[in-house]
A and B are shown apart, each in its own frame.
Chain A
Amino acid sequence: MKKILALALCGAMALGLAACGGGSSQGGGEAAEAKPINVCLASEPATLDPHLNSAVDGATLCAHLFSGLAKWDQNDEGVLEIVPDCATELPEGVVNADGTVTYTYTLRDGLTWSDGQPLTAKDFEFAWNRAASPALAADYNYMLEVVKGYNEMWETDADGNLVNPDAKLAVTAVDDKTLEVTLNNAISYWNELLAFPSYYPVREDVVANEAWATDPSTYVNNGAYTMTKWDHNSLITLTKNENYVDADQVKMPEINFYLSDDANNMLTNFENGDWQLIDDVPTNEIAALKDKYPEEFHVDGQLGTYYVCWNVNEDILPADSGLEGTEAEKAREEIRNAISLLFDRNYIVESVAQGGQVPASSFVAMGLTDADGSQFYQNAGSSADFDGYYNVAADALESNYNTAMETLKKYYAFDDASGKFTNFPTMTYLYNTSEGHKAIAEYLQSVLAGVGITMNLENQEWNTFLDTRKAGNFSIARNGWLADYNDPISFLDMWTTASGNNDVQLGKGANVDVKAYSIDLTDLGYDTKVENGTWAETYDVVISDIKSCTDMEKRYALMHKAEDLLMSTGTICPLYFYTDLYMLDDSVQGYFQNPLGYKYFMYCEY
């Protein structure tokens, strides 16, 4: 017995020593050449298959590992642009008789995979069909929605079964170097899509192994780097790919992506000088860090909006309002819009969220551009005095409050003595469990309590929350949206009746027959003019018009009209535009990131 115990103890001791010994060795030794850069974006990525990935940190890794027809680049003036990558150039499309548009790309000479095999147009043809396919069922399959053939691929019968299991996209490898693709109609962001991971090439024989993207030994790619190490939950190392066609332009020899989502840990390593870029910082340290590291603390836009959404079918009118149908819905629209005016977005940003966010007055986020390249959100709404649909300036708070109270007094009993409404139905605010969301929820709750509206708070665990919100089992809920590409449609098509993201339930449930929506597109040359129609007759029509519109100016005008209609319902109460906070060692040169938040280290030196 003694022996067994002794053995067990020795074993434990040996393991303990091994544990202490591991990990302390380091690459040391000052290299005369460029040093590898150490960065930390997030914890273990769910996947590094560019087609299955749907996370920003995963996309950053894929952008270093793969090369599509186009890529994001920074020109000498520091302006971001989309430039050809695998393609020799990015030509204009040819409009066909049926309104579809065909693009023909020529691949550059000398393209190879990281294992040395030549890369051909066939690889792109295979890859795009894979990325879009129901067989892969990637989260981002809809990124290829614009390509002809996608809709047939996903067409389902009444039971939800696929009608055309063998459908293919209209993308053809004419020969080894020529790729032809046809889009349903012209779109302004096509070149940007070509730089999106869903459009990266993958090779058929490589991805036949389902586990190909989980280990460096099976990972075959065509970009600036190859994956040389993946210690799960700890570190991914990318090493410069000498087979990459533009290898001479790549300056950074090696990138270490440390896998952690612990902001305190990130900060410690950044301050030690071990890591050169960290993509998160502890919220309670933001203010101090801004002062301490003015050159190294960065706040970038993020194409996203944090907002509160109402369930359109939740009746918030007092029991004795006597209103019904269209009138009732119009009253609710007015009430919801009035409540949106009560909140002080500057306070939320500065005192609650504290992450350098920007107060939002529209749903389409800051950073998305309009037809003329200006900010879409600045042209939203009808007021010349402020951007968007409300004035979110600090000095407008009082007038906003007065306007809101005036509107609410039309519908609810108001007690002058207490300054509160007495018959507003009690509501529940649903949010997913998180300290940050809770703090905002409590602020909203306190504002409403101030005018006599009781709003209870309920938090749910993330997955349950998504389920509840999607099913419309809530009255008000926290919500947020980040765009996948720089086009306002990425914010607008989610509210069509059939969309899976239509959490507000517009055009669904009781709202399906409500005729309270109006749209007039005649000034843009369309026949559509609906006075008091249903959501499907109005919003769905504008969105489908936008999707088939080939005139850029008109298309953006349509998108403004769609947002006007959406915002008039009052079901969306934007609070702030998301920002991306990160810290970057100021000795690092050549770093840039794109509007989607992908970070580029290949041209870095320090």
Chain B
Amino acid sequence: MNPKTLKYIVKRLILAVFTVWVVITVTFFIMHAVPGGPFVGEKAVSEAAQKAMEAKYGLDKPLFAQYTTYLKDVVLHLDFGPSLKQRGRDVIDIITDGLKTSAKLGLIAAFLALIIGVVLGAIAALRRNTFFDRVIMVLTTALISMPSFIMGTLLLVAFAIKMHMLPANGSTAAGLILPVITLMLYPMSYITRLTRSSMLDVLGQDYVRTAKAKGVSRLRIIFGHALKNALIPVITYFGPMLAYIVTGSLVVEQIFAVPGIGRAFVNSITNRDYTLIMGTTIILATFIVIMNLVSDILYKVVDPRITLE
């Protein structure tokens, strides 16, 4: 690796750490500024009980002291603390449980989006301006413009409630089908369009024409020359796609009651489970920051013409 690239990566890493720190700080103070608290319920607990709980979890200390203590615990000991609402469980356990489900959901969605997207995009490019191409273009445009909460609700009503074909609840294996579809449609459509346009671009290049003139077989041209180069932009989309899937899962997991990290995150906010809010925020923010970094680096790796600065 050349020193320029290395310098770039180090710079980006420092920036990433800074970004996560900003996210932690902003979330921490905004979270405490929101009305309500973790120990509030329909039935009021006595003031003394409230105080006892606050003392137990250190919430009776000044906010800034709580912040520094938290930061110290997380940075030095990687300790996210106990959940304030699910008493007896540690935040890290809840996150690990949720991540297992979310990773399953996210990876399947990403994988399917990639495969289907590339295949559809390539076919559309090769059959340019045919009926098939048009249909794909119209469909993908529609799917890109449709937000996941609408798509999810539509699929839920159609397949789970009206037709009773698939479970509405995402806590079982079969129940993951609808959330996976909801989550993958947007990136799939995006990849389809990306692949199509870059494929068209490549197919018009001189070296493809040369290959054709030399009598290279059509299949070899497509797989050996065109697709390989057409996929460069697709690879760079990998990072943003995973980031999209992470944020999209917040909505999708809520709609289908998938017990993943996105749902834990949303519920933690409703419950004012401060430690869980912080824990999930840090994990998700770190993931997104890393994905963006990886994506930028990949860009460089697949296309040596690009210089990183």
Residue of A nearest to B104 (CB): A19
| Cα distance A142–B108 in the bound complex, in angstroms | 49
| Cα distance A12–B82 in the bound complex, in angstroms | 32
A210 proximity list for chain B (CB < 8 A):
82, 87-88
A383 proximity list for chain B (CB < 8 A):
none
Residue of B nearest to A145 (CB): B46
Min CB gap B21→A, angstroms: 27
Min CB gap A494→B, angstroms: 8
B257 proximity list for chain A (CB < 8 A):
43, 260-262, 265
Residue of A nearest to B86 (CB): A46
User: Which of B37, B87, B90 has the largest count of A CB atoms less than 10 A from its CB?
Assistant: B87
Is A134 in contact with B49, judged by CB distance below 8 angstroms?
Answer: yes
| Cα distance A382–B71 in the bound complex, in angstroms | 62
Min CB gap A409→B, angstroms: 37
B148 at interface (Cβ–Cβ under 8 A)? no
Residue of A nearest to B50 (CB): A137
Is A137 in contact with B169, judged by CB distance below 8 angstroms?
Answer: no
B-facing mask of A99-120, CB < 8 A → 1, else 0?
0000000000000000000000
Question: Pick the contact of B270 from A138, A211, A462 — CB < 8 Å?
Answer: A462
Min CB gap B112→A, angstroms: 8
Min CB gap A470→B, angstroms: 7
A319 at interface (Cβ–Cβ under 8 A)? no
Task: Tell me whether A134 and B52 are in contact in the complex, defined as CB-CB below 8 angstroms, given that A15-B108, A264-B160 are known contacts.
Answer: yes
Is A1 in contact with B301, judged by CB distance below 8 angstroms?
Answer: yes
* Stretch binding the partner chain, chosen from A61-69, A154-162, A517-525: A154-162
Question: Pick the contact of B52 from A46, A135, A232, A461 — CB < 8 Å?
Answer: A135
B-facing mask of A243-287, CB < 8 A → 1, else 0?
000000000000000011110110010000000000000000000
A212 at interface (Cβ–Cβ under 8 A)? yes
A321 at interface (Cβ–Cβ under 8 A)? no
CB-contacts of B28-50 with A (<8 A): 34-37, 40-50
* Stretch binding the partner chain, chosen from B170-178, B188-196, B206-214: B170-178
Is B48 in contact with A134, judged by CB distance below 8 angstroms?
Answer: yes
| Cα distance A158–B54 in the bound complex, in angstroms | 18
Q: Chain A: how many interface residues by the 8 Å CB criterion?
A: 62
A317 at interface (Cβ–Cβ under 8 A)? no
| Cα distance A232–B89 in the bound complex, in angstroms | 11
Is B88 in contact with A213, judged by CB distance below 8 angstroms?
Answer: yes
Question: Pick the contact of A24 from B114, B173, B235 — CB < 8 Å?
Answer: B173
B-facing mask of A1-26, CB < 8 A → 1, else 0?
10001000101110110111111100
CB-contacts of B211-251 with A (<8 A): 235
Task: Tell me whether A463 and B40 are in contact in the complex, defined as CB-CB below 8 angstroms, given that A19-B104, A47-B86, A260-B169 are known contacts.
Answer: yes
Task: Tell me whether A16 and B107 are in contact in the complex, defined as CB-CB below 8 angstroms, given that A156-B48, A262-B168, A464-B35 are known contacts.
Answer: yes
Min CB gap A365→B, angstroms: 15
A461 proximity list for chain B (CB < 8 A):
270
A453 at interface (Cβ–Cβ under 8 A)? no
Is B97 in contact with A265, judged by CB distance below 8 angstroms?
Answer: no
Question: Pick the contact of A466 from B40, B46, B49 — CB < 8 Å?
Answer: B40
A214 at interface (Cβ–Cβ under 8 A)? yes
Sample 11 A-B pairs with CB under 8 A, ordered by A number.
A11-B107, A44-B259, A210-B88, A265-B168, A265-B175, A463-B37, A463-B270, A466-B36, A466-B41, A467-B36, A500-B44
